[in-house]
Each structure stands twice: as C-alpha cells, then as structure tokens.
Amino acid sequence: MGFMPISKQEMEEQGIKQPDFVYVTGDAYVDHPSFGHAIISRVLQAHGYSVCILSQPDWKDENSIAVFGRPRLAFLVSGGNMDSMVNHYFVSGKRRPTDAYTPGGEAGRRPDRATTVYGNLIRRRYKDVPVIIGGIEASLRRMAHYDYWSDSFKRSILLDSQADLLSYGMGEKSIVEIAEALDNGIAVRDITFIPGTVYRTKDISGVYDGIILSSYDDMKAVPKKYAESFWTQYCNTDPFNGKTLIEPYPNGVYVVQNPPQPPLSTQEMDDIYDLPYMRTYHPSYEKAGGVPAISEIKFSLVSNRGCFGGCNFCALTFHQGRIVQTRSHESLIREAVGMIQEKDFKGYIHDVGGPTANFRHPSCQKQLTQGVCKNRQCLFPEPCPNLKADHADYLSLLKKLRALPGVRKVFIRSGIRFDYLLADPDDTFFRELVEHHVSGQLKVAPEHISPAVLEKLGKPKKEVYGRFVQKYYKINEQLGKKQFLVPYLMSSHPGSTLKEAIELAEYLRDLGYMPEQVQDFYPTPSTISTVMYYTGVDPRNKKPVYVCRNPHEKAMQRALIQYRNPNNYELVKEALIKGGREDLIGFDKKCLIRPRRTAQTFESPKNNAKKNPGKGTKKTEKPKKKTIRNVHKKKK
C-alpha cells in the first residue's frame, strides 16, 4: 500500500485532491505501530479516510502549515511520541544534544510545547477548520496542570493551543467517532458526546452526572486545591465508573472531560496492529541517516497496553489506564514472521512486552465489568487478595516465538514487575526468564530502598526486592549461568531527604554495587509524584511531603548513589556532614569515603621548618622524606 503522503507531490501521485485529514506531528514520519501518528493515520485510512502527514513543519513560517491546503474535515495535531519538553531538556534544564525522533538525530526541528505552537500556527492560517489535538503531550495536559519547565501552573492545553477538541489516551476509538461525526456534518463545537475527549463550552446544563472541580483561578492561588482536584481526576480514569469532570475558567468558560474510552478487546488490538504498516521511516530520510528511534523498536513486539502497577511517578494511569489489554498470540506471531523476513533481521527479537512486560491479563476479572478499584491499588502496598498472578499465557507466547524458524533468541527488555513475578506461586516463568530471555543482565526498577520514599513512589518494600534478588541469583546458579541485575534507582523523589539518600548509599555499599546511571526525579504532568513536588502534599491523604527542589541538594542526593565516583567526592562529603553522618567518612569498611590527605601530609620536616622557624631539624632527627612515590614503592 505504501507510505502516507508527506508532500504535495506524493498526495497528487496517490490521487488525493483534498485530504480528509492533515496530521501535523513533531516527529519524523515513521510508519510503524510504535508511533502514534502511524497508528492513528492507518486506523483512519482503514475506515475510508485519506490522511496526509505534515512532519515537523517550520513553526516560524505560517505557510509551512499549508503544504496540503485546507483539509476536508480537520487538522490532527500531536507533539510526537515523546512530550516535546522531555524530548528537549534534561531534568537539570540543560538542552539535549540530539533528538531520536528526527532524521539524523538532529535537535531543534520541533518547537518547545509543540502541540500548542502547531495549534496556534494552524489557527492563524485557517480560522474555521477544526483542530483536534492528541498524543502524550496533549493527553497529560488535558486539564490544568503544573509545568516543571516554567515552574508555573498552566491552563488546559485545549485552551492554550486554540484547539476545538482533545482526544486523550491512545485514541483509536475516539478518532474514528470524531471522523464520523465531522463527516456527517456535525459541527465540531457540538461534538461533546464522545468518550475519551475533552471539549470547551460555556453551557454545562447538558452535562449529566458531572463533577465540578476547583476552578483554575482557585487552584492557581491555593496549590493544595490542585492536589484535591488531581486526586478526583485520578479516581475517575476508569471507563466503567469514571465520571465527567468539569473545570471552570474565567469568563464563564468550562473545560469538560468525558469519561475514558472502553478498553480495546483482543480482536480490536489485533485489527490495529495488523494494519499495513511499512514498519520503517519514510525513504526521504535516508540521506540524513534515517530516524534513530526505529533501531530500538524495529524488531520488538508490543503485546500489551495498560498497567495496574500504579507507580506514582508514572503517567500511564492517565494515558493508557490501569486495565491491561492484550494482543492474541496469532497476531504477534504474524508480526514476528514478517520481521524475520526483513533483510537486516539477525535472529534476535529485542522485546516482547509493553508498559510492563509480564502483564498479560487484567489483575482480576472484576475490572472487565466493574472497573478498577478507586480506594486501593492492585500491588501496593501489598498485592490485593483478588490479584491473579499468572504468567502461563505469557510463557506460552514466548515459547511459540522462540520456536519460529530464523529466531535465535527472544529477549525481554520492557520492565518486569518483580513483585508480581514473586506473587505467582508457579516458578516456571521465572526459570524460563533467566534461562532464555535475559541478555546477560536484567533491568529492574526498585527505585529506592527507604520505606519513607518507597511509600511515596508507590513501590514495594525493600524486603520484596531482596527476595527477588536472592531468587534470581539462585536460579542463575542452578542453571549454571552468571547473569546480573541492573537496578534502576531514582534520586530526589518527594519524601527523600539527605537521610534517605544516605540510607540508599549504605545499601549500595553493602551490595557492592555502584550504578552507572542515576535518574533524578523528573516532574512531568499528570503524576501523583509531580503533584507532591508542586504542592508539598500527598494528594492521596493530603499529608505534607518533603520536597527537594534545591539544585545543589539534588546534586548531593544523586552523588550519594554514585559515591565511589571520585568526581562526586566533595558533594558526598558535604552531604554526609550536613546529614550528620560523618561516621561514614573514614577508613572503616563501613565508610563511604576516606578523608583526603592534605598537601601538608607529604611535606618534609625541612620544608616545614622554613614555615615554622625554631623547630628542630637536626640531621640525626631528620626523618626520611616521604613522597607519594615512596608510598607506592613500599606497597610493592
């Protein structure tokens, strides 16, 4: 079938006189089901609509938005597969030097806050064409939110982008309903009835059973009101029991969020992933060196969506939801067979997973009819008694993929939820994981070990991770393998003071491990942790939370995790002194760092005498000159 048109010439070659939709994206065009613009455009195409892809237009040139002319139905706008601000900046605020979603990895091809900029660019050129925004950037900013990069409280992106409608979540169902409504002549201002969408209005008399949240002005003036509003939003992210949410703004404007779309059935998931994707980037990018992001996912399989893990620093609850949705074995095997036939396939399937690799069904049957629980999580603080921990289906799928001709190895590189793995009474999958699906090291995410921080993270207790580590190495030993664990750790998360950071450093000392990488907590929109960071309270219980905002303290917390790095010495020393733990500076095996010798330590008494006249320097009393070279010789 070929690629979607990305130029006027390609549009005409495909016989399209006027596209139904123009999809404006901050990414290069990659026709692969791991890219949101590819899925949405292929779904629309499968329903009979024509779509042209306008990739990375020049936001400084109003004419760049008019490449395809006026679309018949609407402009679709997405900032890209990543939030544009996360794509552009490290948590420190420094600019990232590359962009994996741009040809050649070139940075600077999209604007900051791309969805908002593109929306306003379209509105300046086309006053009355519907603008529909979606993707991760719009989805997580759909209501008023804290913006880390400007350190300010911002309005719904629907208002700032001047869009008419926002599609949140994964969007396949809602985009088809939007297209059909527009195609049937319904004005975009009247499309207020589609699940998974957000719209603006001045009349809420027709909203049934809605919850009115705190107003934008009130939340901006009193951040704790935002914490209360966010928790209400968090408790209404379920399609079965979620309510319509109404957020008031000045001048009588309301932003209204409809409940989420129902989860996709297995057949619906299969239909989406079986569409005729080209599975690579548009050939016009070849001369620039291609699009780097394809290398990570070209030979990987997406087997599930949604996550009931409930990590507080993760926005999946707001975007994909807590109900796990899966593809069939047959669909995944069809995709794998297609990958095997590609000329650059080397026999390795890099991943079979999703947000959490080992979730292949809802946590309990109740979720499929009554939705998820509002008052508790599935795994935190302990696994729910109703949790069904079973890896049989996932194991069966992996065995089928391993048996395909041409497949040498099937790896699992998505996150493994280790507490869920331990909750399974059958160890068969654990053994198979170690024996067949680990490429020398397994990455897991305990994030921290301090109870105070783990509670704020929504992660299991240190003892649970300890049991997992022991079991992992025991199975390796039984199988005659020597494979390692790479734990992801986070510094400066709300709740972490220097005391907890030092506690983590001591744990790593006892473990004999120093991580190569450490992630500072990154406050992104629509997470419980970000609300803690902004408001200083836990939205779950309204209790105060310690928040590390000072850049220097952040640097100290990060340095403590890598205390063996000589470059971190001064920061670690300062942290230990400030934390009242000077006992960890010394020569004992429990110490983190040793005292550094001063220059005076290596001076001879002769030189010392010049600085201190009157001190005896008799030849018979003169000790041997001590130098660094002599110390090394003595050791030899």
Domain boundaries, the chain: 8-200+251-257, 470-596, 606-635
Q: Tell me if residue 245 falls in helix, strand or coil.
A: strand
Mean pLDDT (the chain, rounded): 92
> What is the mean pLDDT of the segment spanning 61-66?
95
281 forms beta bridges with: 30
Instruction: Give the pLDDT confidence score for residue 375 in this predicted structure.
Output: 81
Q: For the segment 396-450, what is each residue's pLDDT rounded down to a tens digit? A: 999 999 999 999 999 999 889 999 999 999 999 999 999 999 988 999 999 999 9
Token code pair at residue 97: 């030097």
Instruction: Give the pLDDT confidence score for residue 437 in this predicted structure.
Output: 96
pLDDT band at 625 (very low <50, low <70, confident <90, very high): very low
Instruction: Give the pLDDT confidence score for residue 622 in this predicted structure.
Output: 44
212, 289, 330, 428, 636 from 412: Cα distances, Å: 43, 28, 19, 16, 47
Instruction: Give the pLDDT confidence score for residue 618 in this predicted structure.
Output: 40
**272 and 33 in contact (C-beta within 8 Å)?**
yes
Token code pair at residue 376: 């508790």
Q: For the segment 93-116, what is each residue's pLDDT rounded down to a tens digit? A: 999 999 999 999 999 999 999 999
Structure letter (DSSP) for residue 363: S
**448 and 490 in contact (C-beta within 8 Å)?**
yes
Rounded to whole angstroms, how far apart are CA atoms 587 and 572?
Answer: 15
pLDDT band at 615 (very low <50, low <70, confident <90, very high): very low
Q: For the segment 569-587, what is each residue's pLDDT rounded down to a tens digit? A: 999 999 999 999 999 999 9
> What is the mean pLDDT of the segment spanning 137-152?
98
Rounded to whole angstroms, how far apart are CA atoms 499 and 553?
Answer: 12
Instruction: Give the pLDDT confidence score for residue 417 in this predicted structure.
Output: 95
Q: What percent of the chain has pLDDT over 90?
A: 89
Q: For the segment 76-99, what is each residue's pLDDT rounded down to a tens digit? A: 999 999 999 999 999 999 999 999
Check pLDDT > 90 for residue 619. no
> What is the mean pLDDT of the segment spanning 374-387?
91
Domain 8-200+251-257 matching CATH 3.30.420.40: the answer reads no
pLDDT band at 598 (very low <50, low <70, confident <90, very high): low
Instruction: Give the pLDDT confidence score for residue 439 in this predicted structure.
Output: 87
Each as own residue / partner, the long-range contacts of residues 229-234 (CB below 8 Å, 24 or more positions apart, any chain) are: 229/143, 229/144, 230/528, 230/531, 230/539, 231/539, 231/540, 233/143, 233/257, 233/318, 234/317, 234/318, 234/528, 234/539
Model-level pTM? 0.91
> What is the mean pLDDT of the segment spanning 460-473?
96
Cis peptide before 381 (omega within 30 of 0): yes
> What is the mean pLDDT of the segment spanning 353-379?
91
